[in-house]
Amino acid sequence: METILITGAAGQLGSELTLALANMHGGDRIIATDINEASACKFDYCRFMPLDVMDRQKMAEIVKTETVTQIYHLAAILSATSEKNPIFAWNLNMESLLSILEIAKEQKLNKIYWPSSIAVFGPNTPMQNTPQDCVMDPNTVYGISKQAGERWCAYYFEKYGVDVRSLRYPGLIGYKSMPGGGTTDYAVDIFHKAIEGEDFECFLSEDTYLPMMYMDDAIKATLDLMHAPAEQIKVRSSYNLGGISFSPKEIHECIKQHYPNFNISYKPDFRQEIADTWPDSIDDSAAQNDWGWQHSFGLEEMTKDILANLPAYLV
């Protein structure tokens, strides 16, 4: 029986992944942790412990005393926030990953999950249908930390046999919690404005295409990857993961079919520069071939689902 610890569980991804893991393994097998102690109230269906991932000793103690067998390490500083405080972001993103890989090695954990990102790509990466293996020259501190993290994951697998698995998520879009400072956050915010009857000012230009994914697909991909037999996991850095690719103009048009009076204006800021170095779309054939990945939600299905369900979360 597995005991699963999740770091950064109160974030946009963690809020949904923790629930999915509890549904699968039982809430008593799940230990949600986050630096934000006030988020404990979100986790009435499983256990919660406050944990700063920079505190390696405390983390190692929890893993030992609770006989943790798997860690999902989600705590990180995201792309836009990292650019405002690069050294802090580098230290947090790298030190926490290395602590977890060391704990996994020393305490012989069964599996580790750690998310990478399309931010590992850079200005010289092929933009269309970006391949699994290609030039990667990230020029954001977040992207540099994810690329270095991927190499560390592959290193711990090859040298020490740590079963660490990873996905390069595109921008994640969900309605159950707010995003945490990424370059694709506009694609969540836009739904809130439409439903609240307000105009939307977009921080990216109208034709900026980025790879995106509905949260349901991201959760499914994560669980599929983590439950695949080890011999099927051939990529030990991080798998490309494709979903949908759209521009602000396209998502606005899609929402307008449901909210005809919804207006958008464009005021690109520093996040435009980050977006300009990221791919337009992703080739995820390695994930398809190795462990059978297939996404379900297109732009229209996602839009319908969010517009149907988000109002209940805004009450």
45 is catalytic: no
Instruction: Tell me whether residue 29 or residue 115 sits nearer to ligand NAD (CB atom).
Output: 115
Q: Please identify which residue in the block is written with the tokens 């990857």.
A: 225
Phi/psi zone of residue 198: left (φ > 0), alpha (ψ -120 to 50 degrees), beta? Answer: beta
Which tokens is 308 given? 């149907």
Which tokens is 146 given? 């994810």
As a whole number of angstroms, the distance between CA 66 and CA 15 comes to 21
Output phi, psi for 39, to 5 deg. -80, -5
Would you tell me which residues interact with ligand NAD (CB under 6 A)?
Answer: 7-8, 10-14, 34-36, 51-54, 74-76, 78, 92, 115, 117, 169, 171-172, 179-180, 182, 184
- DSSP letter for 250, please: H
Give the pairing type, strands 264-266 and 210-214: unpaired
Give min distance, CB of 172 to ligand NAD, in A: 4
Which pairs from 178-183 meet CB under 8 Å and 24+ separation?
Answer: 178/12, 179/12, 179/78, 180/11, 180/12, 180/78, 180/81, 181/77, 181/78, 181/79, 181/80, 181/81, 182/78, 182/79, 182/80, 183/79, 183/80, 183/119, 183/210, 183/271, 183/274, 183/275, 183/278
Instruction: Tell me whether residue 49 or residue 286 sits nearer to ligand NAD (CB atom).
Output: 49
Instruction: Tell me whether residue 173 or residue 255 sits nearer to ligand NAD (CB atom).
Output: 173
Residues 6+ apart with CB under 8 A from 133: none
Instruction: Tell me whether residue 34 or residue 150 sits nearer to ligand NAD (CB atom).
Output: 34
Which tokens is 118 given? 């399309």
Give min distance, CB of 10 to ligand NAD, in A: 4
What residues form DSSP beta bridges with 49? 33
Q: Find, among 282, 204, 307, the residue nearest to 247 by Cα.
A: 204
As a whole number of angstroms, the distance between CA 57 and CA 55 comes to 6
Q: Please identify which residue in the block is written with the tokens 């590992």.
A: 120
Which tokens is 218 given? 């991201």
Q: Do 302 and 214 meet the contact criterion of CB atoms below 8 Å apart? A: yes
Instruction: Tell me whether residue 157 or residue 170 sits nearer to ligand NAD (CB atom).
Output: 170
Instruction: Tell me whether residue 231 or residue 238 sits nearer to ligand NAD (CB atom).
Output: 238
Instruction: Tell me whether residue 53 or residue 255 sits nearer to ligand NAD (CB atom).
Output: 53
Catalytic: which of 72, 113, 142, 156?
Answer: 142
What residues act catalytically? Answer: 142
